[in-house]
Amino acid sequence: MNRNKNYTGIDCFRLIAALLIIAIHTSPLSSISETGDFILTRVIARTAVPFFFMTSGFFLISRYSQSPEKLIKFVRNILRIYGIAILIYLPINIYNGYFHMDNLLPNMIKDLLFDGTMYHLWYLPAAAAGAVIAWYLVKRLDFAKAFLITVVLYMIGLFGDSYYGLSERFLGLHNLYDLVFQISDYTRNGIFFAPVFFVLGGWIAECGKKEKPFLLKKIIFRFILNFFLMFCEAMTLRHFHIQRHDSMYLFLLPCMFFLFTLILHLNFNLMNKLRNKKHDNYLQDYFRTLRSVSSIIYIIHPMMILVVRLTAKLLHLQDLLIENSLIHYFAVCFASIAFGMIFSLLYTNAYRIHSAPAKNRAYIEINLNNLEHNVKVLREIMPPQCELMAVVKAEAYGHGTFPIATHLNRIGVKAFAVATIDEGIALRKYGIRGEILILGYTDVCRVSELRKYDLTQTLICFEYANELNKQCAKWKARTIAGSRYKMKTHIKIDTGMHRLGLPYNNLEEIKELFSMENIEVTGIYTHLCCSDSLLADDVAFCEMQTDRFYCVINDLKSNGIAIPKLHIQSSYGLLNYPNLRCDYARIGIALYGVLSTPDNDTILKPDLRPVLSLKSKVILIRNICKGESVGYSRTFTAKRNSKIAILPIGYADGFPRNLSGGKGSVLIHGQRVPIIGRICMDQLIIDVTDIDNISVGDTATLIGENKGEELSASAVANGLDSISNEFLCRLGARLPVVVEYT
């Protein structure tokens, strides 16, 4: 899950949820209407805590963001906040005589683990426990089974909460729940209550896409319907006095599902509007501060309740600020928000001083909007029934495998191609589903890993296939789980490139692959070696390759062999030979919005947009006099009094040394300036004499667009007598990837 994306809807509702939590603890309508207060605090406000749990699950448990490191970091942060909160409220606990109670040690343990050392702090240990339970259930069992288990836990908690009267009177579970209540005063805790909402949040992140506008009415209707059912449920339980507490409702689960989906939908619409505003960046930053403010409000509002009550006594305003429950609520809200805003601003400023932003030196910037656009336009030109197979080898051509592959998977791409088994394993660990084809060689000793991670191996020659078949047999003999397993493979046919693959004219060996006991052929493909050229000889060669390929396919058909999925086209294969009927199109460089060279001419010219930009910061500006030299070997000598700037990026970051000495340039303030002297391992120097108002911290663009000017990857690579494929793959050895999704 991409945290750089703005979730403004979620951030806005965080504040609403925090104010609902205050309502639960202040009963705003109690002096006006007891029933109205019940509806507000025991029905409407019961969506607040589940929302917080779902938000955490949304960012933590989706397979696109699921990692032990993130879980550990989340739990550590929650426990740190819990520890700080315990210290904040320690004086109040001492004043209230907490440490003079009977059975102090067991009660302290119970409060620390379940109930919270202050009445509202139960949320924090519940969040930590719920996150761990949900994370491991999803990791081990997947979402459907994890959801079923957490629903069972929720139902156990439900009959110890809002339905306790039924379990006590009719179900004969009184003794069981008495035992539970010796451990925790509530079933609204991290075992019975929190996990299901973490799983729901992760599941929405897993499956959720931007809702289409025509579905908004359905979402609203389903939310209103389920909220009405929850309201009826709560009022019925209250009427018959069934609740022990009133935190958990049966219809709370579907209600929260549709509420969260609605919030995400509204987030999308709101961001579209903000994008067109003059001050959209300011507004987005403002909304993001709500994340920390809402957390602070949750922690600090009981203290603000005391502050308001103390102020009322000092000013003799008890009738106004205390007895009037609505004004009391607004006063607590005002004090809590004010404290939260002040603390958040102070913390943010301190944090900026002590921490470096992601864009502090040099970085790769990835535009996921452009990636989505490219997928859309490429799919439009594919033959009917053809699927896109995204080639994400070499860190997705230098773009960063994780952000690229996970986003492609989320928007519906279900087939991927990599070069090595380790790249395939990495995709599976990122949570990628669908077919993952290894285009290159894998040592046959790694058969168990191919099976474990459900990877598809290319058969690069007959001898290799035979060894793979034998190794698979040995592995199956040692493993009960592998007794019925067949290795999924694609046959590569060498139709003239003479690199990998079985020769097209060796039909007997190709047919024999289909009868190997431990190998399942799920695809056949070839590679067009000169599909990027429209010269007559190259076109004729490509046509010969395709004829040879289909001759093999027709021969297999005539021998009664069922034909698996076929693929021929790579990026240029699709752009120059769009009418080839295949099951997959293996798209690499075109997926990222660039062509290999700027002078490549293609039959189809779709509107592809570059996904990657390469940027760096100006860290130093110097004035040099005419005749002074710059850099290693003094290859540049100033012919005039000049101003130079240092960028902290070099060939160790993948920016080629061959662009030294004026061969390369960068964009800054919308102007192209030359790279002078030798590019170093970690720095390069640019001549900014003709740039006005340049200062330290300005951004320089080495690949990408800057105020209407553009340096394309293909143009830069062409200056190196190379191609953009090679140039882009060099990047990223130590550069951070910053994801932009506007």
Q: Which tens digit of pLDDT belongs to each residue from 83-116? A: 999 999 999 999 888 888 888 898 899 999 999 9
Q: Is the pLDDT of residue 270 over 80?
A: no
pLDDT band at 208 (very low <50, low <70, confident <90, very high): low
Alpha helices in 173-279 (DSSP H): 174-183, 194-207, 216-239, 252-274
Residue 145 has pLDDT above 60, yes or no: yes
Query: What pTM, to 2 d.p., does this model score?
Result: 0.73
Give the DSSP H/E element, type plus range, for residue 166.
Answer: helix 164-169
Q: Take residue 213 and report the two structure tokens written for it.
A: 């506008």
Task: Return the structure tokens found at 600.
Answer: 């490549």
Q: How many alpha carbons lie under 13 Å from residue 602 in its C-beta half-sphere?
A: 23
pLDDT tens for residues 217-265?
Answer: 888 999 999 999 999 999 999 999 999 988 999 999 999 999 999 998 7
Q: What is the CA radius of gyration of the chain?
A: 31
Q: What are the tens digits of pLDDT across the range 296-354?
A: 999 999 999 999 999 999 999 999 999 999 999 999 999 999 999 888 777 655 544 44
The CA-to-CA distance between both ends of the chain, in Å, stands at: 15
pLDDT of residue 212: 45
The alpha carbon of 108 is separated from its chain's Cα centroid by a whole number of angstroms, namely 38
Q: Give the Cα separation of 411 and 513 in Å (integer).
A: 35
Q: Is 70 exceeded by the pLDDT of residue 118?
A: yes
Q: What is the pLDDT of residue 103?
A: 86
- Give the model confidence (pLDDT) of 680-736 as tens digits: 999 999 999 999 889 999 999 999 999 889 999 998 888 888 999 999 998 877 888
At residue 64, the pLDDT reads 65
- Residues 64, 163, 393, 617: which is the catalytic one? 393
H-helix segments, 382-420: 393-398, 401-410
pLDDT band, residue 209 (cuts 50/70/90): very low
Q: 3-state DSSP helix/strand/coil percent for the chain, to nearest 5? A: 55, 15, 30
What was the pLDDT predicted at 4? 42
Model confidence band, residue 648 (pLDDT cutoffs 50, 70, 90): very high
What is the token pair recorded at 720?
A: 């190196």
Q: Are 602 and 627 in contact (CB under 8 A)?
A: no
pLDDT number for residue 283: 46
Active site residue 393: yes
pLDDT tens track for 380-408: 999 999 999 999 999 999 999 999 999 99
Q: Does residue 271 surpass a pLDDT of 50?
A: no
Own/partner contacts of 137-141, CB < 8 Å, gap of 24 or more, are: 137/195, 137/199, 138/61, 138/63, 138/66, 138/199, 138/202, 139/66
**Residue 307 half-sphere exposure toward CB, CA atoms < 13 A:** 14
**CA–CA separation, 323 vs 291, rounded Å?**
32
What's the confidence (pLDDT) of residue 346? 76
* Residue from 696, 3, 83, 31 nearest 403 by CA: 3
Phi, psi of 520 (to 5 degrees): -115, 120
Helices and strands (DSSP H and E) totals, the chain: 26, 21
pLDDT tens column, 340-349: 988 877 765 5
Mark whether 397 is an active-site residue. no
Catalytic, out of 119, 282, 347, 632: 632
